[in-house]
A = this chain, B = another copy of it.
C-alpha cells in the first residue's frame, strides 16, 4: 500500500503516464457554501436581477479548472474538453451547492480539475458575500462521480 505521487524512495514525482492510452474521463465534484438564509436570498435574487454573484463564481470555477496544473503540484497538464458549473440551493437552510463537471479524453483522470473548479467557485461565492455575512463558510468539498480509466466508475452516495 502506498501513495502514488511518490517514487520508491518516497520522493515526490509527476507519475509517468506516457504508456497509458487516452480514454474519455469525466469527474463531478461538489463544494457547498453555508450562509444566512437572508444572504442566500440576496444571492439568488441577484442572479436574476443585478449583482450576479453566481455568474462571477461560475466563470471563476471554469478558469480555475484550466489552472489546475499550476495549483496542484504533482498533477499533469491536461487538455480539458468540457467544464460546466451548476448551482443548487436550499433557501431555508441557507446552503448552496456548487457542482463542477469536467471531461477530457486523456491518459489520467480529471478529478482534481473538478475539485479545483468547485472549490474556487465556492471561494468566489464566499468572497462576494463575506462583507454581508461574517459567518459564511464552505462546509464540504468532495468528489461525487468519476468515470473512465482502468480504476473504473466511482459514485459517492452523498445526498445534499
Give the CA-CA distance A64 to B24 in the complex, in Å.
28
Shortest Cβ gap from A27 to chain B (Å): 11
The contact of A42 among B3, B49, B105, by CB within 8 Å, is: B3
Number of copies: 6
Known: A3-B128, A76-B81. Is A120-B14 also a contact (CB below 8 A)?
no
- Chain A positions 23-39 with a Cβ under 8 Å from a chain B Cβ: 24
Residue-wise, chain A 124-139 has the 8 Å CB interface mask toward B (1 for contact) of: 1011111110110111
Minimum Cβ distance to chain B for residue A112 (Å): 5
Q: Determine the chain B residues whose CB is within 8 A of the CB of A63 once the complex forms.
A: 63, 70-71, 73
User: Which residues of A come within 8 Å of B, CB atoms?
Assistant: 1-7, 9-18, 24, 42, 46, 49-53, 55-56, 58-60, 62-67, 69-86, 103-105, 107, 111-112, 115-116, 119-120, 122-124, 126-132, 134-135, 137-143, 154, 156
